[in-house]
Structures are given as structure tokens and as C-alpha cells.
Structure 1
Amino acid sequence: MLDQLRYIDGITIIDTSGTILFTVKFNPRFHAEIDDNEKIIGQNLFSAFPMLDEQSSTLFNVMKTGKPIYRAKQKIVDFRGVENETTNVSLPIKAHGKTIGSIELSKDISDDNRLLGSVIEIDSSSFNSKQLKAKIQPERAVYFLEDIVTIDEEMNQLKESVRKFAKGDSSVFINGETGTGKELFAHAIHNESDRSTQPFITQNCAALPESLIESILFGTKKGSFTGAEDNPGLFELADGGTLFLDEINSMPIHLQAKLLRVLEDRCVRRLGDTKVRAIDVRIISATNVHPAQCVRDGKLRQDLYYRLGVMTLAIPPLRERREDIRLLVEYFVSKFNKSHKKNIAHISRDSLEFLLSYDWPGNVRELENVIEYSINLADACDDTLQYHHLEKQIKHLMGVQQTFSSTKIKPLKDEIANLEKARIEQAIILTNGNVSKAARLLEIPRQTLQNKMIHYGINNS
């Protein structure tokens, strides 16, 4: 518990009725008089600290859930009207399988006198060396659930879900904006599973040209095309383990049909080969667009999604879990202090306020970029991350984001053509290549559909 906070300013213990059984405050800011500790022993927690209630009190929450809460921030006003802000480690107290109370260690993080409160201490010791080590290990999942740094309730629920379903073999579909940590969850699922000692193969489907993706996934037989050799595909390489397919919506539709067959039959056939090989692979797939939108846009076969999305994880963007920002800042400062040989121990208040207010369209990856940039700018003798360390990179990234936003709008005729092509492809798939049925489904003449298929280069195979 002490490792979480480095030092503590107070301890409080309550029973299930909320009665304060024990309290000690080491920091005079908490209690001005030496006998204040005795004054509140025996009182109800909410009488001694009227700002708290059962929803906001970490002490009460751990009794309700039976699970620890680490490094949660909390504002309190004591019975004298003195307001303080703390970060807490709260644990349930159990006996004979029942929760009988809770204990909380508190660290005062109210404005202190150091530089008139203009800087805030960074607690870099709460991240162990295992979390900060270089993650280079091919064909192995190197991230674990503990590497997903968060105090957000929804994120912790996702981590708990992973613990529950990771032991099975069901396919998992992860969606979330770019930079939210989809790959970390994929690694963690594998490492929580019974396949953890087996291969973990990752492939970004958007990073491969369409002409190569089939041979890379399924393998090749010598002589199947010019220069082809006997090579196993990713499914064979991942046999017994896990295959993570990122940006699955970038895979061509006709290959999605073949992928569906592999998932159904649990066997694979290399390009140009007649031999069928049995495989035992768990599939984790991911998109940075909601799967329903991918299906609507004709980027993901609906039947394939049903097979891939047996278990689903939707990772919230950083702007929806702002309480994680300070924790992540501490994590990245710790990481880059180590790798860049710096000694940053504080962050200026205006810097932290900006980081907390910014929307982070690039999510955690963008925050990491900003912190690494600012650590690089800091001098070896600096111990505080100042706003001027962050400012230039923040402005640059905001400019990049505006450029991206301005290029998203395409001419209306192009947007309509893309939509029309996607709908025709979808209709052809749904009718198994029957042009007459597809035309009836689209409510257009068969000849019109054939002309459009020629125009868009769509065949019915």
C-alpha cells in the first residue's frame, strides 16, 4: 500500500455502518489541534466529512464492491469546514469471507507552499521496472493487464471482463479510436489465457497491399505463382496461440469470405495447394471505427462480424476518462526519465491544467508523444516540466489535426460513388453473386446493375 503513495498523511478505518473506528493524521494541514483525531472517532464518516456521501466516498465504495481502489482523488471538507484534496489507497477489510469495514491511506495533494502551489509533484515510483522495460519480444505478447494504466471505472470493468473471458477460446472484437490501447488489450487477453506460452502473431491489415495479404495470411505452395515458395501463412505460424488482426475492416471483402471459411472449418489451405491443414488459433480483431458502421459502409461482412465478435470490447477515448490523464502523465514521465536520463519530479500547474482540458484526438498515443517531446526539451538539471516544454508540440499536433479534419471532406459525387459501390458489393455478397436477386434487393433494373458493376469493376464471383 505504501508503495502506491511513497508517503502518507493519514489513515482512516470505518465499519460497515460508516462509524469511524480509527483515524490518525500526520499532516497538520488535516487537523490543526492535536486532539482532533479523537474528536471524530466514533462519529459517522459523513458527519465528520459532510462533503462525502456513499457515492463519492472511496471508503464506502470498496466495502460495496469488495475490491481495492488505488490512487483515487477525493475532495473532503471536515467538520471544521477545512477543505483538502487527497489521493487515496482504499481497501476492504474482510473476515470469514465477509466485508466488515475498510481502511484508507491518504496523501494530501492540496495546493502546498512549494512555489506558491505553481508546481505539482509527480509520483514516478508507483510504476515498477517491469512496466517500464523495453517491450521487444517477437511472436510473444509482451503486455499484461497491469500494463494498462487506469483508474477509470469503465476501463477497470473492461480489464475485469478480460480476466473472465480470456481463459476461453472465443473470438474477441475490439473497437476504439486510434491510440486508445487496442493492441495492449489484445496482448493482455493472450497473456491471461491458457495460450500465453504459445505464439502471439499480430498483423495490421491496412499495412499490406491487397495482392500480398492472402498469401501472408494463408501461406503459399511452391510454384503457385512466379517466385512462390513453400511458406506457411500467419494462421499456421500462430497455431496453438493467438492471431491479432488489426484494422480488419481494411481487408478486401472477397478475402473476408475466405477468412470466414477458415474460422468455421478450423483449417487452412495455402495458395496453390490442395492439402488442407488443421489449425488451432484464437482470433482477436480490431477496428478504429464502430463495427456497425463498418458493416453499414460495406467494409466488413456482417456474417464475419458475428463470427469475430463473440466477445466485444469498446475502449473509451481519453477525453471520456480524463481522470486517467494525470496518472498517464506520471507513467510517461517515469518512462522517459529512465530512457532519456532526466530527473523530472514536478509538473507546473498550468501545464497539468492544459493537459487535463485538452481533448486528445490522438488519445493516449498523442499524450505519450507530447510528454516524450517535452522531456527531450528539458535540460538535465530541470526537475519541473513547464508549459513552454509542451507548448510547441501541442500547437503542432493541433495544426496536424486541423489539416486532417479539413481533408476529410470529399466531393459529393465521390462520396455518393463510394456509397453506391459499397451497397452493390454488399448486395452481391448477400445474394451469393446472383445479379437478378441483387437488382431486386437494390430495387433497380438488372441491366442498370450490370452497367454499374462494370463501371465499378465489381464481379459476381
Structure 2
Amino acid sequence: MRKNPKSFLEEMEYMDGISIVDTSGTILFSVKFNPAFNPGVIEENFIIGKKIYDVFKNIDYSNSTLVKSMELGIPVYKKRQKIINYTGETIHTMNISLPIRSNSMIMGAIELSRDITKYKEQNQSHHEVKIDSNFFKDRNIIEKHFMPHQARFTLDDILSDHSSIKEIKYLIKKIANSTSPVFIHGETGTGKELFAHALHNESQFAKGPFVAQNCAAIPDNLLESLLFGTTKGSFTGAYDTPGLFELAEGGTLFLDEINSMPIHLQGKLLRVLQDGYVRRLGDKKERKSNVRLLSASNDCPKKCVEEGRLRQDIYYRLCVIDFKIPPLRERKQDIPLLLNFFIHKYNKQLNKNIKSVSKETCKVFDKYHWPGNVRELEHLIEHAMNILDESDTTIDLHHVQHRMNLGLQQQERKLDTDLVPLKDAVGELETSLISDAIRRTGGNVSEAARLLKIPRQTLQKKIVKYNISPDVP
């Protein structure tokens, strides 16, 4: 059965420890809820800032799940791992390591562990590293030589002949030396982080760090401590640890999928934006923050506000400057340019000698809807170049057609659903929308009516009509 992070965490039942490392293997954050993990008292300075290989003597590049998750860019699960801690004691853990990333940029990894030393499972499968191969879909190959907290792309890396992209690049040059927040929005796969990198490298913050974090990739209860840092003693096992704002000091902090950030945490972020000070969890001291904030979402920020996923007050701070990246279907004249770039890239990586794309393939590309945008195009080219024979020099339609048909079938499925009576369909849709609005507003009928843009009395009648409970489940 295929694993996913949620099912594996359910199997773990609980956690005894959490660790976060950067791409060099340096420990940035470590919390041990179970004293068996660290016998005696370990001072924060002993672990934080040290390499995982130095703290755990039997862990190296070849067997570290943290390193493997960063290298592959996917969650890595291990049901039983042998660890020898700094005292020489052997501990067996069950753990999941997840990359901290935003699109193609790997910033580090987080590991959730459970101590299973007392259990005596002998099943050989417990020694296997299990990787969910589904996570390889639509992902870019990760470069092995990358530096943490560093923007890799510039405006020259944004390839386009489309007027909208040229206007965005011109805008980036105009706003580069501003300190105002910027909101980038566009469909998945359009390259939002690429534009964030370019904006950083064009700005007065270019010599400072570039720290990127996908807000949807971290559990809600960890995101706050990751953003703002922690103070020793603020909660069980907490150490003095800088948050992302401190790590990005003098540079840029990029928060992707910010609409996934919990509403209460958006309020704390608003205060940082307004006052310019950051306070770690459990700390009384405030630290001056000199960071430019970039944020991104797959949806228009106004739509996020209307749907209750983004606070209206923080919208005004995040969207001082905003721009939308057009989807690939609206700039198909860029496809030949992108094809040239991707073929050159994978010729080098895969030691191929592809020289062209057939006319038939180009015609199909021009008619295709591209739901996955530029990322999907790269995926198709990488796939094709992996399955080509050594003697082939041209990408033909049969090399990519199957993968494109998958996308077409998904589009057609939306249109080919069985027809139902209009009254029933309207009722189902209204029930779903009303229930969602009530959930989003915590059961506040007036606020739900405002979100749905209907009178409160009308909403109350529909709640009774569809027998919807106003209580939040």
C-alpha cells in the first residue's frame, strides 16, 4: 500500500522528538519530548549549530533520512532506524523526514521521531526505507550543489517573449530597492518562486540571505515557532532558536502559499509587518527586523480574502505591490523558447543529444490547455528524454502523448459527469457552500452571510431548508 505523510503519522501515533536541519546537515532546531532520547541535560549549544553526523556517530550521508529527503525532495519514511547518541547509547526510532521546500527550492528538512527501543519487532521490513514514488510526479530534478538561504535565479533566468512577463520584469526593476512587501500570485507551476528569487537578487537585499518557506508544508503547531523562533523553557524541550525572520535578517523572507497560514498566525505576522519587531515564543524581548517580505498564493489575494483564507487587514500590508504571473496557455509563444532551454538542460544532465521537437508535437503543444503550466512542460520533456533511444535526436508525439492524455482525461472528466436534475445540483452546491462558510466563520451566521454575499435572513432560511447545523463540527 502506498504511503503518505498523514497515514504514516497516524501509524506513529505520537512523537518523541522533532529536528530541523539546513541543507548542509546543520541542526537548526531540536526538541526532544522523551528524555530517553537525550540522557541527562543537554545544553542548547551542544546540538544547535552542529552537524547531524557529529551528534549521531553512526549517521552519515548514505543512511540519513534527513539528507535523503532533501536530495530527493520527497518525504522519506523509516519504520526502524538505529541511532547511537553522543553518550554511546543505542536507540531505535521510527521517523519521517520531510523536505522544507517551496517549489524547486530545498531549504532544509524536518524530522518527526518516535522512540521504539522498547519494542522488539523483528520484521525485516522495518529496516527498509520506503519512498512514495508518487511524489516524483511533476517535480524538477534537484541540484546537488546548492547553498542554503541563497537566491539562485535572476531576471535573466526568466525566459519569455510575452508582453505581460516583460512588464513584470520591468516592474521588478522599478520596485527592487523598495522595502515594501510584494505579493506574487499565479497558478501552480507558473514559477512564482523564480520571480521571488529574481526580485531578491535585483534588490538592495541581494547580499543578504534569501529564506523561502511553503506555509502549507509545515504543521500549524510548528509554523509559529519556525517563523518567530523559540526561547528556552517556553515549552517542554524548547531551546533558544532563531526563527525564519531572524535567519532572513538583512535579506528576504519568501512565504509561499501564505493563504494556508492559520488565521490567528496571520494576526501575529501583521504585527511584525506593522511594527518591524519580532518576538520569539516565550520571550519578552523584541528584536528589530530588517527583512523584506515576499508572499505568494495560487489564487488571487482578493479571492483569498473573500473566502476567509486571508485576513483583510493583512491583505493591505502584504499587497502593497502585487503582480500576477500569467498561465502558460495565455503565453504559448513562449513554448519554443522554453523547449529550447529544457532540451539543453536535460541533454547535459542525461547525456543525450536531442536536437529538435517534431512539428506534430509542437502543434499538439499549441492546442493543449497546460493545467500544470511551465512545470508540466518541463515534466513532459524530462520524461521524453529519459525514454528516448540513444540514437534518437527528435522528440516525437508518441514520447509525450500518454502523459498529455492523462491531463486531457482529467479535463474531460470534469465535463463528462452524469447529468442530474438542476434543482438537485443547485441544492447540493448551496449545501456545500453554506456548510463551508459556517465552518470558516466558526459558526457565525452573520459572518457566513457576508462571505456568501447574501442577506442573513436568506441564509437562515436556507440553513433550515437544507437542515444544516450552524454548529461547527
Query: Where on the TM-score scale, by shorter chain, does this alignment land: which range?
Result: 0.5 to 0.7
1:415 to 392, 413, 433: 433
The answer to whether residue 337 in structure 2 is matched with residue 337 in structure 1 is: no
2:238 maps to which residue?
Answer: 228
Q: For each residue in 1:305-341, what CA deviation from the matched residue of structure 2 results, as whole angstroms up to 9, or x when unmatched?
A: 1101111111110000010011111111111111011
The answer to whether residue 468 in structure 2 is matched with residue 456 in structure 1 is: no
Partners of 1:406 and 1:307 in 2: how far apart?
43
2:277 maps to which residue?
Answer: 267
1:395 maps to which residue?
Answer: 405
Partners of 1:305 and 1:324 in 2: how far apart?
32
Offset, 1:196: 0.6
- State how 1:184-333 maps to structure 2 within 5 Å: 184-333=194-343
Q: 1:310 to 1:401 in 2, by over 3 A?
A: same
Please give the root-mean-square deviation of Cα atoms over the aligned residues, in Å: 3.1
Offset, 1:399: 3.8
Offset, 1:442: 8.0
Offset, 1:395: 1.8
Partner of 1:313, secondary structure, is strand
TM-score by length of 1: 0.63
Partners of 1:426 and 1:204 in 2: how far apart?
30
Q: 1:427 to 1:242 in 2, by over 3 A?
A: farther
Offset, 1:455: 2.5
Partner of 1:149, secondary structure, is coil
Partners of 2:349 and 2:357 in 1: how far apart?
18
Offset, 1:402: 5.8
Offset, 1:425: 7.8
Paired residues of 2:212 and 2:255 also in contact (CA < 8 A)? yes
Partner of 2:408, secondary structure, is helix
Partner of 2:308, secondary structure, is coil
Partners of 1:236 and 1:281 in 2: how far apart?
8
Paired residues of 1:180 and 1:364 also in contact (CA < 8 A)? yes
The answer to whether residue 161 in structure 2 is matched with residue 148 in structure 1 is: no
Paired residues of 1:243 and 1:281 also in contact (CA < 8 A)? yes
TM-score by length of 2: 0.61
Partners of 1:340 and 1:379 in 2: how far apart?
12
1:14 maps to which residue?
Answer: none
Q: 1:329 to 1:425 in 2, by over 3 A?
A: farther
Paired residues of 1:427 and 1:442 also in contact (CA < 8 A)? no
Partner of 1:286, secondary structure, is strand
Paired residues of 1:239 and 1:281 also in contact (CA < 8 A)? yes
Offset, 1:397: 3.4
Partners of 1:141 and 1:240 in 2: how far apart?
14
Offset, 1:443: 4.9
Paired residues of 1:326 and 1:356 also in contact (CA < 8 A)? no
Offset, 1:454: 8.7
Offset, 1:429: 9.5
Partners of 1:255 and 1:396 in 2: how far apart?
38
Q: 1:224 to 1:172 in 2, by over 3 A?
A: same
Offset, 1:245: 0.4
Paired residues of 2:445 and 2:470 also in contact (CA < 8 A)? no
- State how 1:76-115 maps to structure 2 within 5 Å: none
Partners of 1:362 and 1:400 in 2: how far apart?
12
Q: 1:426 to 1:345 in 2, by over 3 A?
A: farther
Partner of 1:283, secondary structure, is strand
Q: For each residue in 1:259-310, what CA deviation from the matched residue of structure 2 results, as whole angstroms up to 9, or x when unmatched?
A: 0001111111111111111111100000000111100001001110110111
- Partner AA of 1:413 in structure 2: T
Name whichever of 140-149 and 217-226 sits farther off: 217-226
Partners of 1:273 and 1:267 in 2: how far apart?
13
- Partner AA of 1:178 in structure 2: T
Paired residues of 1:346 and 1:384 also in contact (CA < 8 A)? yes
Q: 1:170 to 1:183 in 2, by over 3 A?
A: same
- State how 1:344-383 maps to structure 2 within 5 Å: 344-383=354-393
Q: Which 5+ residue runs of structure 1 have no aligned equivalent?
A: 1-131, 431-437, 445-451
Partners of 1:239 and 1:170 in 2: how far apart?
15
1:179 maps to which residue?
Answer: 189
Q: 1:253 to 1:403 in 2, by over 3 A?
A: farther
Partners of 1:133 and 1:359 in 2: how far apart?
29
Partners of 2:287 and 2:469 in 1: how far apart?
36
Q: Which 5+ residue runs of structure 2 have no aligned equivalent?
A: 1-141, 418-424, 458-467
Offset, 1:387: 1.1
- Partner AA of 1:347 in structure 2: V
Offset, 1:136: 2.3
Q: For each residue in 1:137-194, what CA deviation from the matched residue of structure 2 results, as whole angstroms up to 9, or x when unmatched?
A: 2200001111111011111111111011011111000010000111000000000001
Q: 1:153 to 1:394 in 2, by over 3 A?
A: same
- Partner AA of 2:161 in structure 1: I
Offset, 1:411: 6.4
1:44 maps to which residue?
Answer: none
Paired residues of 1:253 and 1:301 also in contact (CA < 8 A)? yes
Partners of 1:399 and 1:245 in 2: how far apart?
33
Offset, 1:362: 0.6
Partner of 1:174, secondary structure, is strand
Q: For each residue in 1:46-71, what CA deviation from the matched residue of structure 2 results, as whole angstroms up to 9, or x when unmatched?
A: xxxxxxxxxxxxxxxxxxxxxxxxxx
Offset, 1:403: 6.7
